[in-house]
């Protein structure tokens, strides 16, 4: 370790800290009263003791929670690793700012500065984690051994994932997405192996730790290769100097330039601007523009669906019988609403000659692209809970086919409603299909019943 670099880096950090502290003091003097702050601190401490007393009254319930936490502690390393990968979409993890970049022009290399910053971040993060565990141990009935185990596991994997976080930030978004999906598959495979061989689940954390250690050994000589320094410095400057209190008071947010997400980048890529040679390419371009404007509704619905499918079943296995039909029902209803909203947002489409079948099929293609994330979430959760088997494959295939059929039927109904045509009521068959879908999560052969409403409708027609 170069101590001269460390001393210069500490001096820069101290000056930055003092400047931000002065700004906070000025903001607090304008917005808060000292007496009010003292009362808030007193009531806050009293509230903590009230919570501790309340938890002591429900000690058997807390002990049951502790047993459940001990059973699921193996998932903590995976969560920490996935958290680092997900955060790499937004910032680099290690706050390499313009100050450190200017220091690297002096006799202080970027590698030395990066190591100093990583060591400092790891130390303070570990210190904060142990302090939080100590406070929780004093005010809650949770045992110190459990809190210490959680703290050590979290601190270890947080430290091991810092350099991976740093390297992922400069990669393209589709590569980051591949890494996240790969981690899901690796953790699912380890989980299946431990269940099949009846091993302890803590071995999953051991395997992940050894894998991360090997990745860190590989990355250490390559930390400065292919780093987008302009993007790193721009983002970290905005994060370091984004003082939330002052931004809220002055109504002037400090943010880096807007960058589009994965789907938004895909919607805006060069291929979307090429000259079209047939009517279907025109339809795709119109849907690209419409979905880009309505992207907020899409990602919120997909996110809620992933939470319903991916998290709730861990509370109780039977929840998946309800959560899967609800998640896909909500998504399809949202997709059908956006389909009809195009005509309301662009009234000229109501008078232009449109090839109805092609218009619906091009939109259905985009809707199925968004639904792919829900399919992946269902498959991974099913793999984690019951393992990879033929029943899961049948459920997955039936889910894909039913979702496509239901989506097509909803789009036809919305199109007929816009054209003021007569609409046959098929809600009974739809409800029956979703009931078969939910029952098929419990009894896999029953999932074939989702085709019954479609076949009955064809027969009646």
Mean pLDDT of all residues in 105-124: 86
HSE of 293, CA atoms in CB hemisphere, 13 A: 11
Separation CA 77–CA 312 (nearest Å): 20
Specify which of 67-71, 222-226, 345-349 reaches the highest per-range mean pLDDT.
222-226
DSSP conformation class of 172: -
Least confident window among 55-59, 136-140, 290-294: 55-59
Considering only CA atoms, which of 369, 371, 363, 351 is closest in space to residue 282?
363
User: Is the pLDDT score of 181 beyond 70?
Assistant: yes
End-to-end CA distance of the chain: 79
* pLDDT score of 437 more than 70: yes
Rounded to 10°, the helix 279-293/295-310 angle is 80
How far is Cα 295 from Cα 206, in angstroms, rounded to an integer? Answer: 40
If DSSP codes are grouped into helix, strand and coil, which group holds residue 413?
Answer: helix
Distance CA 334, CA 78 (A): 32
Average pLDDT, integer, range 32-41: 71
Helices then strands, counting H and E runs in the chain, come out as: 20, 0
How big is the chain, counted in residues?
461
What pLDDT, in 10s, does the model give residues 64-110? 777 767 667 778 888 888 888 888 888 888 888 888 888 888 888 88
**Mean pLDDT across 166-193:** 84
Alpha helices in 104-143 (DSSP H): 110-139
What is the Cα–Cα distance from 56 to 61, expressed in whole angstroms? 10
Q: For residue 69, what are the contacts with CB-CB under 8 A and spacing of at least 6?
A: 146, 150
Does residue 364 or residue 321 have the better pLDDT? 364
Between 354 and 361, residue with greater pLDDT = 361
Q: Are 223 and 166 in contact (CB under 8 A)?
A: yes
Give the pLDDT of residue 179: 85
Q: Is 446 helix (H, G, I), strand (E, B) or coil?
A: helix
pLDDT at 73: 74
Residue 175: name the closest of 78, 89, 48 by CA.
89
Q: What is the DSSP string of 40-82?
A: HHHHHHHHHHHHHHHHHHTHHHHHHHHHHHHHSGGGHHHHHHH
Q: What is the mean pLDDT of residues 137-142?
A: 76
Question: In this model, does residue 260 exceed pLDDT 80?
Answer: no
pLDDT for position 92? 86
- Mean pLDDT, rounded, for 212-239: 86
Where does the pLDDT of residue 263 fall: very low under 50, low under 70, confident under 90, or very high at 90 and above?
A: very low
The residues, ordered by sequence, that sit 6+ positions from 283 with a Cβ below 8 Å of its Cβ are 358, 359, 362, 363
Is a pLDDT exceeding 60 seen at residue 224?
yes
pLDDT range class, residue 61, cuts 50, 70, 90: low
**pLDDT tier at 270 (50, 70, 90 boundaries)?**
very low
Q: 240-253: per-residue pLDDT in tens? A: 777 666 666 666 66
pTM, two decimal places: 0.56
Instruction: Give the residue with greater pLDDT, 405 vs 443.
Output: 405
pLDDT of residue 453: 67
| pLDDT the model gives residue 62 | 65
Phi, psi dihedral angles at 68 (to 5 degrees): -65, -40
- Which is more confident, 294 or 84? 84
**Each residue of 403-431: b (16+ CB within 10 Å) or e?**
bebbbbbbbbbbbeeeeeeeeeebeebbe
Residue of 313 and 148 predicted with greater confidence:
148
């Amino acid at each position: 370790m170069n101590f001269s670099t460390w001393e210069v880096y500490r001096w820069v950090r101290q000056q930055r800290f003092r400047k931000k502290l002065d700004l906070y003091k000025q903001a607090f003097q304008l917005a808060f009263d000292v007496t009010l702050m003292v009362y808030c601190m007193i009531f806050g401490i009293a509230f903590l003791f009230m919570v501790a007393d309340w938890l002591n009254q429900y000690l058997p319930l807390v002990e049951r929670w502790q047993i459940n936490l001990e059973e699921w502690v193996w998932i903590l390393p995976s969560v920490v690793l996935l958290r680092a990968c997900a955060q790499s979409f937004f910032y680099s993890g290690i706050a390499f700012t313009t100050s450190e970049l200017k220091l690297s022009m002096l006799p202080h290399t970027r590698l030395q500065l990066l190591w100093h910053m990583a060591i400092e971040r790891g130390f303070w993060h570990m210190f904060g984690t142990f302090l939080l565990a100590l406070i929780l141990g004093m005010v809650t009935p949770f045992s110190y051994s459990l809190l210490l185990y959680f703290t050590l596991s979290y601190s270890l994997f947080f430290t091991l994932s810092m350099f991976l976080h740093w390297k992922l930030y400069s990669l393209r978004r589709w590569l980051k997405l591949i890494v996240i999906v790969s981690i899901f598959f690796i953790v699912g495979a380890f989980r299946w192996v431990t269940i099949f061989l009846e091993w302890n689940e803590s071995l999953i954390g051991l395997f992940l730790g050894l894998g991360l250690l090997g990745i860190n050994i590989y990355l250490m000589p390559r930390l400065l290769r292919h780093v987008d320094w302009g993007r790193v410095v721009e983002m970290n400057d905005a994060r370091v100097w984004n003082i939330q209190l002052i931004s809220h008071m002055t109504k002037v947010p400090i943010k880096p330039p807007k960058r589009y997400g994965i789907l938004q980048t895909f919607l805006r890529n060069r291929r979307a601007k090429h000259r079209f040679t047939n009517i279907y390419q025109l339809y795709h371009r119109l849907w690209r523009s419409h979905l880009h404007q309505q992207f907020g509704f899409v990602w919120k619905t997909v996110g809620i669906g992933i939470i319903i499918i991916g998290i709730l079943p861990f509370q109780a296995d039977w929840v998946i019988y309800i959560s899967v039909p609800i998640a896909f029902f909500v998504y399809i209803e949202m997709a059908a609403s956006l389909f009809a909203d195009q005509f309301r947002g662009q009234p000229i489409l109501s008078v232009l000659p449109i090839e109805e079948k092609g218009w619906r099929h091009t939109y259905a293609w985009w809707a199925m692209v968004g639904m792919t994330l829900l399919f992946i979430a269902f498959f991974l959760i099913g793999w984690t809970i019951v393992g990879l088997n033929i029943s899961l494959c049948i459920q997955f295939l039936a889910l894909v086919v039913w979702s496509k059929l239901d989506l097509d039927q909803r789009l036809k109904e919305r199109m007929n409603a816009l054209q003021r045509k007569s609409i046959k009521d098929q809600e009974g068959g739809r409800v029956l299909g979703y009931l078969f879908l939910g029952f098929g999560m419990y009894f896999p052969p029953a999932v074939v019943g989702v085709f019954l409403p479609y076949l009955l409708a064809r027969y009646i027609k």
